[in-house]
Amino acid sequence: MFDIEFLLEQYPSEFRLKPLLIVHGDSRHDNQSIKNQCSPYPQIEIYPARLDIPFGTHHTKMMFLLYETGLRIVIHTANLILQDWKQKTQGIWISPICPKMNDDRESKTNFKKDLLEYIERYRARPLQFWQKTISEHDFSSI
Catalytic residues: 59
- SS3 per residue for the chain: CECHHHHHHCCCHHHCCCCEEEEECCCHHHHHHHHHHHCCCCCEEEEECCCCCCCCCCCCCEEEEEECCEEEEEEECCCECHHHHHCCCCCEEECCCECECCCCCCCCCCHHHHHHHHHHCCCCHHHHHHHHHHHCECCCCC
Contact status, residue 71 vs residue 134, Cβ threshold 8 Å: yes
**Are residues 122 and 49 in contact, defined by beta-carbon separation less than 8 angstroms?**
yes
61 annotated to a ligand binding site: yes
Binding site for substrate: what residues are annotated? 61
Binding site: what residues are annotated? 61
